[in-house]
Structure formats: C-alpha cells, structure tokens
Amino acid sequence: GAGVSQSPRYKVAKRGQDVALRCDPISGHVSLFWYQQALGQGPEFLTYFQNEAQLDKSGLPSDRFFAERPEGSVSTLKIQRTQQEDSAVYLCASSLPTSGRGDTQYFGPGTRLTVL
C-alpha cells in the first residue's frame, strides 16, 4: 500500500509570503503528526491530530503556524508571513494507533521550505 505522501517536495518562498504544505497519511491511520527538522537537528514535534481533532499544538512556534485536518485524512500545515527562520524540512507522520504503550509513526518524505 501507499505510504505517507507530502507535497510539494520543495518550496521556495519570499519572506512575508504564505505557504501551505499538504500531507496524505496512510489510509486508515487515525493519528497524524507534523514535525519540523532544522539542518543538523532531529525532527521536532509541532502538532498532533486524532482524526479531525487537533489534540496538541504545543509545538507550533508561533501563531503564524496553523494546521488543519478537516475530514480526518489529508492535513495541511499553513505558515503565514514566512520568515527566514521558518526554513526547514517539514515532516508529516501517521500511525494507527494501537492501544496501550506506543505507536510506530510512519513518515513522509518531507517538504523542504526555503524562505529567502
């Protein structure tokens, strides 16, 4: 079956522009996560959805970042008025989840955002 897909794979934006990044999770996966990965760092949590409900947005760095998953499948991460410090790879991951102790999250290829 298909894995997690993300589009676009690369995005160049001028400072101040708005961008929208799309994630298609694995079919049937209830949980969806967004992470931000800066150069030379590990991925850092941004936000989490269970179906259409955004249960945790504690990692969003500012109110310029907004995520949605209106029908519980595809998700969009929107960044308004982009700044140079927003330049990073944005990773989407999905998981079933199983009940109990932990889930394996499956990642998409990421969108590399460069803000000039």
Footprint on this chain of another protein (rule: CB under 8 A)? 4, 6, 31, 33, 35, 40-45, 48, 55-56, 59, 91, 93, 95, 97, 100-110
Nearer to another protein, 5 or 83 (CB): 5
CB of 81 to another protein, least distance (A): 26
CB of 40 to another protein, least distance (A): 7
Q: Which of 27, 20, 36 is nearest to 5 (CA)?
A: 27
CB of 96 to another protein, least distance (A): 10
From the number of C-beta atoms within 10 Å of its C-beta (0-12, 13-18, 19+), residue 50 rates as middle
Here the tokens at position 99 are 């009940």
Cβ–Cβ < 8 Å for 30, 96? yes
